[in-house]
Amino acid sequence: MAIQGKNADLIRRFKLYGFGFLLGLLVVSFVYKGKGCQLPSSSKLEELSWQKLEYTKHGLCRMKCRNITEAEIKQILKNGKVNYDKSDVHDKPYPKYAVEGTTVEGQKLRIIIADCDTISKVVTAIDLRMETDNCDCNQYK
């Protein structure tokens, strides 16, 4: 008889634990309802795309040389991904992010953007399929 009492107590404890666990799940689901999880890359890209967009002289020269339009830059900011291997997030005074993506025309681009507080500044634009560079934009560096 003592064994049945211990089993009953164990079953009661499992029921209480299960009830508490389900109650906790309900509370968490209501608190976090509609809030998704974002990767650092997508949240940084979202931040950069919402900021005012400006272009350096060097960036404009590279864009002109490589036939990259402002619309394509905005498209890469919207649909691209941050390549942290090519980014310099600890650069002073402003961190630089390498955003990579493909345009509608199939051009593979890497855009280097400086995160200047409330401004996203396009530093340079790189066509990843071009092996040689005949742009003379070094006077703007």
pLDDT in tens, 95-121: 999 999 998 888 899 999 998 888 889
Q: Which domain holds residue 31?
A: 1-36
Question: What is the number of structural domains in the chain?
Answer: 2
The amino acid at residue 84 is Y
Is 107 found in the same domain as 55?
yes
**What CATH number corresponds to the domain at position 116?**
3.30.2310
Please name the residue that has the structure tokens 């164990």. Answer: 10
**C-alpha 88, offset from chain centre:** 14
Give per-residue pLDDT as tens, 42-89.
778 888 888 889 999 998 998 888 888 899 998 998 888 999 899 998
What burial class does residue 105 get, using C-beta atoms within 10 Å of its C-beta: 0-12 exposed, 13-18 middle, 19+ buried? exposed
Same-domain status, 8 and 66: no
Q: Are residues 60 and 122 in the same domain?
A: yes
Same domain (yes/no): 67, 129: yes
Let me know whether 62 and 80 are in one domain: yes
Q: Are residues 31 and 62 in the same domain?
A: no
Within 10 A of 112 (CB to CB), how many other CB atoms are there?
Answer: 21
Look at residue 121 and give its three-state secondary structure: strand
Q: Would you state the pLDDT for residue 1?
A: 45
Q: What is the pTM of this model?
A: 0.69
Residues 47 and 96 in one domain: yes
